[in-house]
Structure 1
Amino acid sequence: MEKTLIVGDVHGCSDELDRLLEVAEWRRGERRLIFVGDLINKGPDSFGVLERAREYGGLTILGNHEAAFLRYVRQGRFGHAHFDELRERMGSDLIDWISHIQSFPLYHEEEDLIVVHAGLHPTLPLSKTPGKILTRIRTWDGEGRNLDDESQPPWFELYRRTKLVVYGHWARRGLTLREHTIGLDSRCVYGNQLSGLLLPERRLIQVQAAEMYVIPTDLPDEMNRT
């Protein structure tokens, strides 16, 4: 496996991203950089995070918040405070940034690794899985009608392959370490940690959030709003 740093959901926490890369001793050209998606929204500096990810040559998987931002711009439904600010900071380069975000893949797969934002369909191949599932799944009800039903099993309990899957998205559950699946959303924007995974050594790197940027008063609804 190629030397890699995979970073969990950053959500605009640019200072924490800088510190994580420093702690991980990441150097461009020495170790590739992959983001599980949700670079933006909620935190203080979404544009700064997008800039860093692009500047560092990182591969970013499309998250549900990037997908929501693309819909916001396409449909012209302005009034979302964080998205309004991000659009303004993109300024005259808006079209270029939109094209860049549209280039984010729904998943990355290689011989011994899959990186996806939310998770996998229990039976469909990746290439035939709808983007909504790849960017939003948490649980599986057998049909995909409700992708976040606590009465149903988490998608990863139905995963039967041995290829490592690294994902984010599930802030409510937090850091989730299993033999063949690793969830890296450790709730940085809610005042917890930003997590990264060094491969092939499978070493976890974490930095503490500088502050609680969002108060998690109702985490399930908050996460599903966009």
Structure 2
Amino acid sequence: MTQKLGQEQVEEKETQYEYTPQGPGLDTRQHMTTSYGHKPLIDQVTNGWRGDVKIPEDSGDYEPGFCDIEDEGSCPNVSRDIVRSRRFRRMLALVVVAAILAYYAWQAYLRPRLLEDWEFKEGFMSGRGNGTYGMARSGDFDGTAIKDIDAALVPGGKADHDGKRRLVFIGDIHGCKKELLHLLDKIDFDSAKDHLIATGDVVSKGPDSAGVLDELIRIGAESVRGNHEDRLVEAAKTMLDDDVDVPSAAITSKGSSKDAALLKHMKPRHLRFLHDMPLMLRIPALPLAKHPGKHHIAEEITVIHAGLVPHVPLEKQDPYFVMNMRSIDHKTHVPSALHETKKGNSKPWFNIWNWYQDRIDRGRSVDGFHVYSYAEWLGKQASHGWFEKVRHVLPSKHNDKVTPQVAVYGHDSKMGLQLHRWSKGLDSACVSGGHLTAMVLDAKGKTEITSVKCKNYK
């Protein structure tokens, strides 16, 4: 029996499951023995899940979607992170500021300029019903309409190899001899190498018109005819009569009686000088001028008293407006002696002049601009095919061989000194207490402005 018990104890020992703790602080020699019968515990579980485990069909192929909120890399989550970032907010603020600035630049600068550019161009298009300058053509003029300057007087020309000569342009003198002498002294005028050109209205209003004429004659100066000279030339035909009662104290030309009074103070040489004044004086481009710009002139110069209509050739300009214009209707291009007309389309004439010359200088086409009547425009349209009509609209280097030119003028004391790239207005209201202004042009085309203060003689 003892033997039998010993065998059972041996078998029981063979089926014992020993668990040996491995953790620190436990004695590995201690054994915890639990008897679970003859089978491992896992084999004694009777649940059916062990043999019926199902794996989801898509468990291995699942990928998060583009807009899956649970995926950190999805579109909504990435967008949210971007919006929350400081960098994004700074960039958004910059974009908003840039948009606001662009809007105000468009409204305050770009849009008005583009609109004005179109309006100026529209005035050249006869076929649009606005017409172009054709009503005021060249009329009667008792004198020389266009005169070219003596070639020997051109700075840097054939007679001036060293480039020492200068041209001196002076605004409206109006009989202010004292101021004229002061200005000539200030610019170190030397009649041996300098040539003075006045922009007209050298007489009337001021205290010594005859004295101004004597000084101009003495130094060999030239002047274009202004509206006051023209009045005197016309008045001389009828007012130089011994029977005319003239107030001796009247020395200005406000009205016919004062024109007659001024004529009484003039000698034949004075009247001859007035009559010989050309309507326009043309100066060729200076040979040594290389750097054209606002303060340099390298192009042909036309000196007039009041203004010019941009696209009308000099020989077709109306003499009255050349001596009297202040504005141009930007739709019809008809000039006016007023600053503002009742129609409200008036622009300072030099604005359209500058736009037109700048267009030529940049090589933009002006083909079709040189039309002086509606009938002439119809004739040109009939001779153009469809290709020619399209070509006129597009930018082109073709410009009918027209070259830009600079206009030097006076007359408009209300506008004051106006110095632009293509026009130089020199009337600075001398006789009204303003300044007498000179523009000195050297052989290299550089201009220098000098003025002297004037007494108010009004």
Normalising by structure 1, report the TM-score.
Answer: 0.87
1:173-215 C-alpha deviation (Å, 9 max, x unpaired)? 1111111101000000000100000003210010001x2101x
**Secondary structure in 2 aligned to 1:164?**
strand
Structure 1 consecutive aligned stretches of length 4 or more whose deviation exceeds 6 Å: none
**Secondary structure in 2 aligned to 1:189?**
coil
More strand by share: 1
For 1:61-210, list aligned pairs within 5 A.
Answer: 61-76=224-239, 81=250, 82=252, 83-90=259-266, 93-94=267-268, 96-111=269-284, 112-141=300-329, 142=332, 144=334, 146-150=336-340, 151=344, 152-159=346-353, 160-161=356-357, 162-199=404-441, 200-209=445-454
Say whether 1:213 aligns with 2:389.
no
Distance 1:145 1:205, change over 3 A: closer
Matches of 1:89 and 1:147, distance apart in 2: 29
Distance 1:168 1:145, change over 3 A: closer
Number of residue equivalences: 210
Query: 1:143 Cα shift?
Result: 5.3
Tell me: higher relative CO, structure 1 or 2? Use CA pairs within 8 A at least 6 residues apart.
1
Matches of 1:110 and 1:207, distance apart in 2: 26
State whether residues 199 and 223 of structure 2, in contact with CA within 8 Å, keep that contact through their aligned partners in structure 1.
Answer: yes
Percent of aligned pairs sharing the same letter = 30
Report the structure number with the largest CA radius of gyration. 2
For structure 2, the residue ranges without an aligned partner over 5 or more in a row are 1-153, 156-165, 253-258, 285-299, 358-403
Query: 1:149 Cα shift?
Result: 3.7
Moved more, 131-140 or 143-152: 143-152
Moved more, 64-73 or 139-148: 139-148
Which residue is 1:20 aligned to?
183
For structure 1, the residue ranges without an aligned partner over 5 or more in a row are 215-226
Query: 1:127 Cα shift?
Result: 1.5
